[in-house]
Amino acid sequence: MSYGPWGFKIIYKPGYCADCGEPEAKVIYYGLPHHMCLQCDPPLLTGFWSRLTAHLPFSGWMMVYKGSYWRALWRWVSGA
């Protein structure tokens, strides 16, 4: 495992977990797009918005999706 100048892990393969190297699933959490490794224990939430949601309480609503974020967001909001 390699670390950058500020101590962050360097991920060589986007879309793969930094800890175990398995492919990450796309999830919607708090209405924001994230990537999550379902193989790690506890599951590792990554992505641009993961720093913000780390400071929020767990709402229990998370949706795994494939394809377009906007279509998945509409399904998440409308409950379809």
Instruction: Specify the pTM.
Output: 0.67
Where does the pLDDT of residue 11 fall: very low under 50, low under 70, confident under 90, or very high at 90 and above? low
> 7-44 b/e with 16+ CB inside 10 Å = b?
eeeebeeeebbbeeeeebbbbbbeeebbbbbeeeeeeb
Q: Contact, 34 vs 50, CB < 8 A?
A: yes
Question: What confidence category does residue 19 fall into, taking pLDDT thresholds of 50, 70 and 90?
Answer: confident
Burial zone of 50 (CB within 10 Å; 0-12 exposed, 13-18 middle, 19+ buried)? middle
Which sequence spans correspond to the domains of the chain?
A: 25-78
pLDDT tens by residue, 38-68? 888 877 787 787 788 778 887 777 888 999 9
Backbone angles phi, psi at 49, to 5 degrees: -85, 0
